[in-house]
Amino acid sequence: MLDYSSLAALATVIREGSFDRAARALNVTPSAVSQRIRLLEERVGCALVIRGQPCRATDMGGRLCQHVDRVRLLEQELQEAMPALAPEGSVRVALPVAVNADSLATWFAPVLAEFGAQAPVLMDIAVDDQDHTAGWLRSGRVLAAVTSAARPPVGCNSRPLGAMRYRAVASPAFMTRYFAQGVGAGTLARTPSLIFNTKDELQSRWAHRLCHRHVELPRHTLPSPFAFVTATVAGMGWGLCPESMIAPQLADGSLVEMVPDTPLDVPLHWQYARSASSLLEDFSRQVLAASHTALMSS
């Protein structure tokens, strides 16, 4: 049997990012936290924590953290059913989820807010590109993820959410300045684009589909969906924006579609740990219901 005080120490170090903060959260000394993790690493025969700023879980450490999260959710359910087990009242438990920034900025945030207000959980949200969020679930660092991957990791379910539609847009003045001769491989290769981060391939995918070949795009990096839209309106660059975010700007003319009727649809899926708890099942139902209203059928 695994020592759950050691597992709790591991999960807290990863969540808090350091041994010192984990010690404060657990009300023990940093040396006690270190000793618990060392004993756990000796038990499983491999490293579980990559020491650094912040501390990160190894693949095996992430899987053990996911196990701890599952156990805590199940204990929460048991306490709800048997209040005598928690005479001081039930304690909120962490529900770790990975989601792409554009979903979080549009349709996913209201689901989080509603569920977090009603359920005895503390939402722990990790943000990554939709092509990479599945890795968080696969490694055990989260219990659920919004992802572009259709095939789930072992032990997880996958449900289609629909597609997020993106439009390649720019300000009218930007279009006049850079694309007076049309939008093509030559003009795109000379014109600044906007990307969310180095994992963001949407602009490149759109350009490749338009030009039928790879185009090396000059790019600004701007890791905020709202700042991304603001910068596009201001003429900093062109970029792929979620259609739902830029409807007002398209309506008032402050943004225009660079090439009419050339949307890029990104299918999304909801993947989550199987048999984790009824809390996760309830959250999954709310996520699916919201997506069917907010996203396009894929």
Let me know if residue 174 belongs to a domain.
Answer: yes
Whether the per-residue pLDDT at 89 is higher than 80: the answer is no
Q: Predicted confidence band at 210 (pLDDT cuts at 50, 70, 90)?
A: very high
Of 85, 83, 80, 46, residue with least CA distance to 62: 46
Of the listed ranges 155-159, 182-186, 218-222, the least confidently predicted one is: 155-159
Mean pLDDT calculated for residue range 31-56: 90
Count of domains observed in the chain:
1
* pLDDT of res. 88: 62
Whether the per-residue pLDDT at 1 is higher than 80: the answer is no
Question: In this predicted model, what pLDDT tens digit does every residue of 92-146 receive, in sequence order?
Answer: 888 999 999 999 999 999 999 999 999 989 999 999 999 999 988 887 788 999 9
Let me know if residue 31 belongs to a domain.
Answer: no
Task: Give the CATH number of the domain where residue 220 resides.
Answer: 3.40.190.10
Reading the block at residue 266, the tokens are: 């990104």
* pLDDT of res. 282: 93
* pLDDT of res. 297: 86
Residue 104 — φ and ψ, nearest 5°? -60, -35
Instruction: Name the burial class of residue 66, with classes exposed (0-12), middle (13-18) and buried (19+) by CB atoms within 10 angstroms of its CB.
Output: buried
Let me know if residue 262 belongs to a domain.
Answer: yes
Q: How much of the chain, in percent, has pLDDT values that exceed 90?
A: 67
Whether the per-residue pLDDT at 90 is higher than 70: the answer is no
- The more confidently predicted of residues 203 and 155 is 203
Let me know if residue 171 belongs to a domain.
Answer: yes
Range of the domain at 255: 164-266
Mean pLDDT calculated for residue range 155-173: 96
Let me know if residue 255 belongs to a domain.
Answer: yes
Of 61, 67, 252, 265, residue with least CA distance to 165: 265
Residue 91 — φ and ψ, nearest 5°? -105, 140
Mean pLDDT calculated for residue range 26-40: 92
Of 122, 114, 34, residue with least CA distance to 73: 122
Whether the per-residue pLDDT at 58 is higher than 80: the answer is yes
- The label of the residue with tokens 């990975």 reads 98
Question: In this predicted model, what pLDDT tens digit does every residue of 275-298 receive, in sequence order?
Answer: 768 889 999 999 999 999 999 986
Let me know if residue 109 belongs to a domain.
Answer: no
Whether the per-residue pLDDT at 259 is higher than 70: the answer is yes
Whether the per-residue pLDDT at 211 is higher than 70: the answer is yes
Let me know if residue 181 belongs to a domain.
Answer: yes
Let me know if residue 104 belongs to a domain.
Answer: no
Mean pLDDT calculated for residue range 31-42: 91
